[in-house]
Structure 1
């Protein structure tokens, strides 16, 4: 039997602060009274929180508005310069970093060339990028919430140690977050690229304000995964590895997959298969414009990929809709935009939904962020999400054995 406990006052206060920020972030400028109505918090509680957030520079008042009789109302909005975040990305040939403000706007960007780096080579490079970003865009360091890193691969319990990032030697079980924190003296959050992209899409993209959606992430380096929000919660699973949909079997006894099974979704829909059909051997070494040009020049190869990818994608969308009942499914990722656009066009019409008469206000499939910056912008969203997203789990948490025994 699962046993739960309440929470202490400080945790409830932190949760309420996040609720107020989320209300303004998703709805735009709001008065204290409007926030109270939307959140079911008392007017006094909202006033206290708004004053605290304004003192912390996270909210700023707008021009007072007079509506009929009575005191004018003062709407509050998110202050973009109230906090900053850094996103890092590490690939076989590129180490990159972006600095974003609280609205998700990119304030500075830095790239460094690397050559299949191991941890010993990569960690100082990433630490240097963090320092250079702060110097490139001057702001109070206490407004830097932290650093996010988006990596491919699966993760150990707790999501701290990557089991197989980057397909580079030396990274097996390397504690990325702990080692980088030691070098830069800032909080470091590590997520797989699909989850990071889903967070970025919910904060700033087409899924903004949605409670339940699945983000299908097609990685530029070849794979496919998913990030999920269910009822407003980021869902990661018991070992932080939910969303490994690339290994759903869509063709029994089909093509051999790197995981050892046959017929996995990854072997039909992933960008790596598209590159095989297009005769592109070095997609990761090409500039985005050059890669798009090669894709455009080989319509026959593109058609071969689309023919084999469309039906498995429809099947996967059916499965996700029936299993999780999301408001929408977002198709995005770091794969070339030209591939994503053609795939989204060809997958329509989708299979008939289980309830075809239901009226929908949101399309079943939407295109999210695409292109090479998708993962790194998702990484930059991690510290902001961590600091501002309501954490309902602090209000209902499992009791420890000691607490249960008194």
Structure 2
């Protein structure tokens, strides 16, 4: 039978889980909250909230944090998320390595690991995943997010060099869940980086934003209403392939505004940075090749900003990923912000373009953050 999406109250168990997510989501946003406050914000009755809080206390998901004085009556008990109630695992599968990170419900990094690979075929990667710890710092895992490069399914962008060999012929979701023994969400690096910024970085408290991610190329993560927007087939955000005008004619955005474009221009000038620290050191020297790239990249990003703002209407656009913070700051400062944009408005709460704070591990941490975000958000689940 085909799956259908029902209203929150049409199934008792679904309704209970959805309302539990409403309560957890409000507490997470506010840091701590009382029952009456949660009831007003969620639209639930105070009695319903009290029942949910009782369940969350019994399950160890929330803790009492104190009492807050009101205008009348007894001071209200306040509650906060118990960070150690569970942990989430984030895994990034690269052609040469598996990166892993474990975070708690507050987004604190508990542990991280890197396992080098000579190949990244399923028979090489899955045994590595089977050996990852299922419990860290006393916290049991509630799920895993896995980052894999390349578009989902066969598309006009298939066959790129960054794709992993051998994975196209298997059901990756099933194979990963069997290896890890956990529920798994598979995402691309830009989407997970966006979620990392929301859970632990520059987008905390922001529900709708765009995230330009500097990885192998240039990707785009879209978050709408606090959830990743993946598109019909999970491939929304392939912004690096859109053409932008340059003095030499239309060129793909990521051929101008990406880490690989920067490294290429530096190499042509006889400079060969091998790591992010090398790039940071070169930034401090400000060689002409870097300044040339900054000029070209920021101009190209200005076109991308115009496109994103007028199509998506985000609260802000965040730059994050595998570029050192000073370079991201330079791009934010130099990228022209078009006047003819729906985002050019006087009542903004956030700058139109900001630098991310998570750093070069944004995709790996974001894969774990995706699990935390799901656990602490209301969610309508299809039923058979």
1:269 corresponds in structure 2 to: 257
Q: Displacement of 1:140 after TM fit?
A: 5.2
- 1:94 maps onto 2:93 in alignment: no
- 1:80 maps onto 2:76 in alignment: no
Partners of 2:118 and 2:283 in 1: CA distance: 25
Q: Is the 8 A contact 2:129 2:179 kept in 1?
A: no
1:250 corresponds in structure 2 to: 244
1:258 corresponds in structure 2 to: none
Deviations 1:272-291 (A, max 9, x none): 1111011189x999443234
2:230 corresponds in structure 1 to: 236
Partners of 1:374 and 1:357 in 2: CA distance: 30
Q: Superposition pairs for residues 2-401 of structure 1, below 5 Å?
A: 5-6=6-7, 7-67=10-70, 69-131=72-134, 134=135, 137-139=136-138, 141=140, 144-156=141-153, 166-219=162-215, 221=216, 223-251=217-245, 263-279=251-267, 286-297=274-285, 299-347=287-335, 349-354=336-341, 356=344, 358-391=346-379, 393-394=380-381
1:259 corresponds in structure 2 to: none
User: Normalising to structure 2: TM-score of the pair?
Assistant: 0.88
Report the 3-state secondary structure (helix = DSSP H, G, I; strand = E; otherwise coil) of the residue aligned with 2:237.
Answer: coil
Q: Is the 8 A contact 1:163 1:172 kept in 2?
A: no
Report the 3-state secondary structure (helix = DSSP H, G, I; strand = E; otherwise coil) of the residue aligned with 1:369.
Answer: coil
Please, which runs of 5 or more residues in structure 2 have no aligned partner? Answer: none
Partners of 2:62 and 2:159 in 1: CA distance: 39
Q: Displacement of 1:293 after TM fit?
A: 2.6
Deviations 1:315-353 (A, max 9, x none): 111111111111111111233334322211211x41214
Q: Is the 8 A contact 1:216 1:329 kept in 2?
A: yes
User: Alignment RMSD, CA only?
Assistant: 2.9
Q: 1:360 to 1:70 in 2, by over 3 A?
A: same
Partners of 2:316 and 2:235 in 1: CA distance: 21
Q: Is the 8 A contact 1:84 1:99 kept in 2?
A: yes
Q: Displacement of 1:109 after TM fit?
A: 1.6
Q: Is the 8 A contact 1:151 1:165 kept in 2?
A: no
Q: 1:352 to 1:331 in 2, by over 3 A?
A: same
